[in-house]
Structure 1
Amino acid sequence: MSTPTRTAAPAGTDTPPQRLPLLALLALATAVFITSLTETLPAGLLPAMSADLGVGESAAGQTVTIYALGTALTAIPLTTATAGWRRKRLLLAAMAGFAAANTVTAVSANYPLTMAARFVAGVAAGLAWALLAGYARRMAPAHLQGKAIAIAMAGIPVALSLGVPAGTFLGKVLSWQVAFLVMTALTVGLLAWIAALVPDHPGQPRGAAKPPMLRTLRVPGVTPVLFVTLVFVLAHTVLYTYIATFLDGLGMGRSTDLVLLVFGAASLAGIWIVGALIHRRLRALTLASVLVVGTAAAVLALFSGTPALVYAAVTLWGLGWGGVPTLLQTAAGDAGGDEADAAQAMLVTLWNVAMAGGGVFGGVLLDLAGPSSFPWTILLLLAPVLLVVAAARNHGFPARRS
């Protein structure tokens, strides 16, 4: 895995190397880290953000919703509009968007401006998510494409295991604004890294046909993958967005950063397992992820009064969730075939529809039923997810990958 960057294809070509260009893939992983952390950072900062912005915690939670809404509304049209752009140029533009949006979020003193900045960050994420998995695939030979995506997607659990807890800690010790300014500094450094070390690839040729989305939906296996994406992400987001509030209700509010650290460390283990086995065991890994997250929700629903069991449940939750982005991105690419780019754009859109829906739905549940309703909601949502994955054994989540 630790191969030198000279194995990357020369700029301007679209021929994958015979080995993994590790430094280039780690740059993509850092881009995923920034994208994921920008999205989820408010989860550990909601009490402080709500106090400084003069709104309730459910309203502060909508900073996650508006981010996801920006992605959901723009991912498909922006992916279509920029299909001909060279990939490095597009990635640099997306990362610059994060730098600008996080800076405005940090200096904003009022709720509407903060929400506007978060929407812009979501637009940048729409570009990034639709681009990154395909970019990683194009850097690798066919037999290593799953591992290439796993390396790139490792930025998600790293954001959860290190980024969110560190941001939560900075929010306690200094201020939540400092956490967003640190994000800007990281992004500026990443822009230089991408410019120096990431190989370029062309976009679609001018005039190339773009597959209609409805035609992509008729490709066998695409619809089950999209359904699982929508509902699984919704189930996860309902609790994750309000994890600080949920822990407050258990008397564990002071341990939010530690709980998030445990979750993220377990997520790293989950993505390592997925990266090692995905080439042969995509279906089994997806089924296991649903069952492990469901078990974690059951423990939180029944035994949340015991802190040790809360930590055990969070460990299971992270272990089951860590590899899910890689599993679903790979499943969508496999199922889409010649229309994989369209399938990926639809997956990104539905992923962020679910993120937005989770923020709104979780806020409604918080106001009407309290945070104890979150684990039960996860269990209800995961039941149809498990059924669809189990049924899609020929297309979508096949027993054998081609």
Structure 2
Amino acid sequence: MSTTQTDLLDTSPPADNRKLPLSPLLALATAAFMGILTEALPAGVLPEMARDLSVSESAMGQALTIYAIATGVSAIPLAVTTARWRRKRLLLLSVAMFAVANTVTALSSNYPLTMVFRLLAGIAAAAVWAELVGYARRLAPPHLQGRAIAITMAGVPLALSLGIPAGTFLGELFGWRLTFGLVTAVSVLLLGWIHFTVPDSPGQSAGTREPVFRALALPGVAAVLFVVAAYVLAHNILYTYIATFLDENGLGGARDVVLLVFGIASVVSIWITGAMVDRKLRMLLIVSSALFIVAAALLAVLATNVLVVYGAMVLWGLGWGGVTTLLQTAVTDAGGDRGQALLVTTWNSFMAGGGAVGGLLLGSFGPDSFAWSVLLLMVPVLLVVLVARKHAFPAKRPEST
């Protein structure tokens, strides 16, 4: 088979002479967007899905849980199993699985069948997350790799802050089945975009592969994963039950506006992070953690004050929007692709755990306990970022290729 410059990464010009290849990076960002949109879209149309599939809303809510669990559990086995696969082939197969799963969801009236394909979509997402950051790094010259990751991972907060509300709006206008059908159509278009613009990349040869868990012994990896676990758990405890929290404090009628404010702040954070991550990763993560701590403190003591709540949402959004890029970059700097596989498992496990822990807190202590729990989790996060300055979060990022 013949190859061209757009077919293989190793035929590109010398790294230092290259600029960021925006079209391939935006295709990767869209793959990230689709992974999150496929996962979280049921949340916006849950009552309608539950009614049409003749199950309770709590049972339908497990469509999100099974996706997150499948992603977390399968990330490491998939990383090992597919290590020798060509990266482009794996990405195309994963996006194709999104298209199939969303098509079945749009057409199915059978709850078990829907859940089976939600599980398969979660496995496909694990493959996407395990390769996305490494793919972005290989596309970019060393001095722009952080920015390449920022562009690629921007799909995650954009899906949460813009994609899910848009999907919910379309679901209300045209029905949830058509909405999932539209997501399928976007997935099909994305397949063509990837095929024609994203360069291929070889997998690892058998002699270069090492056990994924051995990455835990690498300096800095354990510290980064602790920050990932605590930060993601804190965020999801509060975000999963934000509607309940707002209802409790008299702001239930302003949910959409509150979440829009959070989303806009997150987008601003993405832009700032993308511009500075290659030079100021450590500083950005310190600021991110501190902003979330201040936001949680405000929500803990002044949640009935409307202006304070909006201000806290701005701070929270500014802190959260870029954290995906920051932590993805940090773990890949410290542990390479193996560290990335561990991050995917950690991230999704504690994302699923956020809903479970939040439910326990809600039943035992009420909605006002959410902000206090965030404080208990985020203060250690900030301390670890401050202390782990040699390997996990150095002031100057290591040169990488």
1:172–1:243 CA distance, 2 compared to 1 (3 A): farther
Q: Deviations over 1:120-150 (max 9, x none)?
A: 2211110000111111111111111111111
Name the amino acid aligned to 2:6: P
Q: What TM-score results when the alignment is normalised by the length of structure 2?
A: 0.90
Q: Deviations over 1:187-221 (max 9, x none)?
A: 1111111111111111112x233212342111110
How far residue 79 of structure 1 moved from its aligned partner, in angstroms, is 1.3
1:161 aligns with 161
1:47–1:292 CA distance, 2 compared to 1 (3 A): farther
Name the amino acid aligned to 2:233: L
1:82 aligns with 82
Secondary structure (helix, strand or coil) at the match of 1:120 reads helix
Where structure 1 has 5 or more consecutive residues not aligned to the other structure, the ranges are 1-7
Asked if the contact 2:227–2:381 (Cα under 8 Å) also holds between the matched residues in 1, the reply is: yes
Query: Quick check: 1:382 aligned with 2:381?
Result: no
Name the amino acid aligned to 1:396: A
Where structure 2 has 5 or more consecutive residues not aligned to the other structure, the ranges are none
2:201 aligns with 201
Name the amino acid aligned to 1:288: V
Name the amino acid aligned to 1:322: G
1:326–1:86 CA distance, 2 compared to 1 (3 A): same
The number of equivalent residue pairs is: 391
Query: Quick check: 1:287 aligned with 2:286?
Result: yes
How far residue 370 of structure 1 moved from its aligned partner, in angstroms, is 3.4
1:352 aligns with 348
Whole-Å separation in 1 of the counterparts to 2:362 and 2:50: 15
Q: Cα RMSD (Å) of the superposition?
A: 2.2
Asked if the contact 2:6–2:197 (Cα under 8 Å) also holds between the matched residues in 1, the reply is: no
1:58–1:304 CA distance, 2 compared to 1 (3 A): farther
1:16–1:146 CA distance, 2 compared to 1 (3 A): farther
Whole-Å separation in 2 of the counterparts to 1:108 and 1:230: 35
Name the amino acid aligned to 1:212: P
Name the amino acid aligned to 1:238: I
Whole-Å separation in 2 of the counterparts to 1:48 and 1:239: 24
Range with bigger deviation, 214-223 or 128-137? 214-223
Whole-Å separation in 2 of the counterparts to 1:239 and 1:54: 29
Equivalences for residues 59-78 of structure 1 within 5 A: 59-78=59-78
Name the amino acid aligned to 1:312: G
Asked if the contact 1:16–1:140 (Cα under 8 Å) also holds between the matched residues in 2, the reply is: no
How far residue 53 of structure 1 moved from its aligned partner, in angstroms, is 5.1
Query: Quick check: 1:320 aligned with 2:319?
Result: yes
Asked if the contact 1:66–1:356 (Cα under 8 Å) also holds between the matched residues in 2, the reply is: no
Range with bigger deviation, 272-281 or 9-18? 9-18
Secondary structure (helix, strand or coil) at the match of 2:166 reads helix
Name the amino acid aligned to 1:20: L
Name the amino acid aligned to 2:378: L
1:24 aligns with 24
Q: Deviations over 1:92-121 (max 9, x none)?
A: 111111112222333344544443332222
Equivalences for residues 74-223 of structure 1 within 5 A: 74-109=74-109, 111-205=111-205, 207-223=206-222
Secondary structure (helix, strand or coil) at the match of 1:14 reads helix
Secondary structure (helix, strand or coil) at the match of 1:389 reads helix
Asked if the contact 1:224–1:392 (Cα under 8 Å) also holds between the matched residues in 2, the reply is: yes
Asked if the contact 1:16–1:141 (Cα under 8 Å) also holds between the matched residues in 2, the reply is: no
1:342–1:109 CA distance, 2 compared to 1 (3 A): same
Asked if the contact 1:43–1:241 (Cα under 8 Å) also holds between the matched residues in 2, the reply is: no
Q: What TM-score results when the alignment is normalised by the length of structure 1?
A: 0.90
Whole-Å separation in 2 of the counterparts to 1:114 and 1:164: 19
Q: Deviations over 1:323-343 (max 9, x none)?
A: 11110111011112xxx1111
Range with bigger deviation, 360-369 or 222-231? 360-369
1:259 aligns with 258
Asked if the contact 1:46–1:244 (Cα under 8 Å) also holds between the matched residues in 2, the reply is: no
1:41 aligns with 41
Asked if the contact 1:40–1:241 (Cα under 8 Å) also holds between the matched residues in 2, the reply is: no
How far residue 57 of structure 1 moved from its aligned partner, in angstroms, is 5.2
1:272 aligns with 271
Whole-Å separation in 1 of the counterparts to 2:201 and 2:394: 30
Whole-Å separation in 2 of the counterparts to 1:172 and 1:377: 34
Q: Deviations over 1:51-101 (max 9, x none)?
A: 555656555443322211101111111111111111111111111111122
1:245–1:107 CA distance, 2 compared to 1 (3 A): farther
1:244 aligns with 243
Q: 2:358 aligns with which of 354, 362, 365?
A: 362
Asked if the contact 2:80–2:212 (Cα under 8 Å) also holds between the matched residues in 1, the reply is: no
1:142–1:217 CA distance, 2 compared to 1 (3 A): same
1:3 aligns with none
1:103–1:375 CA distance, 2 compared to 1 (3 A): farther
Asked if the contact 2:268–2:321 (Cα under 8 Å) also holds between the matched residues in 1, the reply is: yes
Q: 2:339 aligns with which of 340, 343, 353?
A: 343
1:226 aligns with 225
1:76–1:214 CA distance, 2 compared to 1 (3 A): closer
Whole-Å separation in 2 of the counterparts to 1:175 and 1:307: 33
Query: Segments of 4+ in structure 1 off by > 6 A?
Result: none
